Structure 1
Amino acid sequence: MWRIAVGAVAALGAAFMVADPANASSTVFGIERAVWDLAWRWINFGILMFFLVKYLKDPLVNFLKGRREQIAQVFEGLKEKEEALKRQQEEQEALLAQLDEKIESIRAYYHEIGQEEKEKILAQAELTRRQILEDAKIAAEREFEEAKKRFRAEVVDMAVALAEQRLKKKITKKDQTQLLQAYLGQLGRIKAKAS
């Protein structure tokens, strides 16, 4: 069929060449030259399209199919990458959630340790405070006892000194002699009992 179309076009072309050269500029077979040119352009376009379809249809279709498959594969790859990225994002979000939980558990753990240490420190401070108070109380009692002893010794010394002064004023030589004899008499009796 295409051979017939090519033959018809060739015949029309030949007829055009054989046409009257004197009227070649204005009409061809009674048709205006511009219309005739337009018709030949359409015919040439039709022939070109026929050959293109005839000889390039399969390669063009195969090319377009291959290209469509390539594009489909690219889209499929992009879809797989998108799904992989979504999975990765979900995994990272899960890890972040776990990380928040871990941070909270670590914070709670260290808070608990801090509370325990605080209680230990407070207990140790209380024990130390009691020990210091006990030591201070013992030291104060010891110093009080020593002060009492010193005070007693001073009071006794003062009493003795005062008594001595009074005795010196009130005891005469006669009284001293009587006291000495009474003392010696007591010594003699003690000696007699001992033997």
Structure 2
Amino acid sequence: MKYVKRTLLTGSWILTCLIMLHLSAFEVLAADNSGGWRPIFDLVMRWVNFLILAFVIIKFSRAPIKKFLAGKKQDIADEIGGLEAEKEEMLRQIDDSKKQFENSQDRLSELKKRIIAQGQKNRQMIIEAAEQESKILLKSAHQKINSRIGEARRKLKSELVDAAIALATKLLPEKITEEDNQKFIDAFMSSAASK
């Protein structure tokens, strides 16, 4: 802070001297025959004007420039902070997505196992139902076969009896006499009487 005050004081003194020198040289500047000092004077005055302009710019624009740069620095820091937060959020979402993917893989394999187990259970139930149905069909077929065999036997017996009766009615009248006929009638009557 000391150096700043000293520099400002020195700069102000030099500026005042230059202004006084400039203002006091009206007669010299108005001279007709200026000699060889005019180009040097012009060069020095350009530098003086440049230094004055630079001093004024630095003096009056230092604080706004610092404020502007500090504001930009804060804006950039805020933007970087926001981007860092977004990056962290994206990384968290990626981690969540990876975990969900792993969980979905586990759930998928568990679901696959359950579907396979359910399919095997259904397959076993279908096989058992088919075996039961085949047993019922076989039993029904055996019953039908036995029924048809019994019916065929009865029919065969009936046909044999009919054939025997037909043969007997054909042959017996020739072989049975009246005496045999009387014996049959007596035997039938005695058996009917005993009942």
Q: Is TM (by shorter chain) over 0.5?
A: yes
SS at match of 1:147: helix
Which residue number in structure 1 is paired with residue 13 of structure 2? 4
Alpha-carbon offset, residue 190 of structure 1: 5.7
Give the superposed CA RMSD: 2.8
The residue type equivalent to 1:124 in the other structure is A
Q: Report which stretch shifted further, 89-98 or 2-11.
A: 2-11
Higher relative contact order (CA 8 A, sep 6+): 2
Where in structure 1 are there 5+ consecutive unaligned residues? none
Aligned-partner Cα distance in 2 for 1:148–1:16: 163
1:95 pairs, out of 79, 94, 100, with 100
Alpha-carbon offset, residue 44 of structure 1: 2.0
1:160 pairs, out of 161, 165, 178, with 165
Which residue number in structure 1 is paired with residue 32 of structure 2? 22
Aligned-partner Cα distance in 1 for 2:78–2:19: 47
Q: Report which stretch shifted further, 78-87 or 14-23.
A: 14-23
1:182 aligns with 2:183: yes
The residue type equivalent to 2:177 in the other structure is Q
Cα-to-partner distance string for 1:56-95 (whole Å, 9 max, x where unaligned) = 3233223312321221122122112211111111112211
Alpha-carbon offset, residue 187 of structure 1: 5.3
Aligned-partner Cα distance in 1 for 2:38–2:188: 189
Aligned-partner Cα distance in 1 for 2:184–2:149: 39
The residue type equivalent to 1:143 in the other structure is R
1:1-195 correspondence runs (5 A): 1-14=10-23, 17-18=26-27, 19-22=29-32, 30-32=37-39, 37-168=42-173, 170-171=174-175, 175-186=176-187
SS at match of 1:165: helix
The residue type equivalent to 2:124 in the other structure is E
Aligned-partner Cα distance in 2 for 1:31–1:154: 165
The residue type equivalent to 1:30 in the other structure is W
Q: Provide closer, same or farther for how the CA distance between residues 16 and 118 of structure 1 changes in structure 2, counting only shifts above 3 A.
A: farther
Alpha-carbon offset, residue 186 of structure 1: 3.6
Q: Report which stretch shifted further, 41-50 or 113-122.
A: 41-50
Aligned-partner Cα distance in 2 for 1:101–1:191: 93
Structure 1 residue ranges (4+ consecutive) displaced by more than 6 angstroms after TM superposition: none
The residue type equivalent to 2:182 in the other structure is Q
Aligned residues: 184
Q: Provide closer, same or farther for how the CA distance between residues 115 and 183 of structure 1 changes in structure 2, counting only shifts above 3 A.
A: same
The residue type equivalent to 1:10 in the other structure is I
Aligned-partner Cα distance in 2 for 1:188–1:55: 163
Aligned-partner Cα distance in 2 for 1:110–1:61: 71
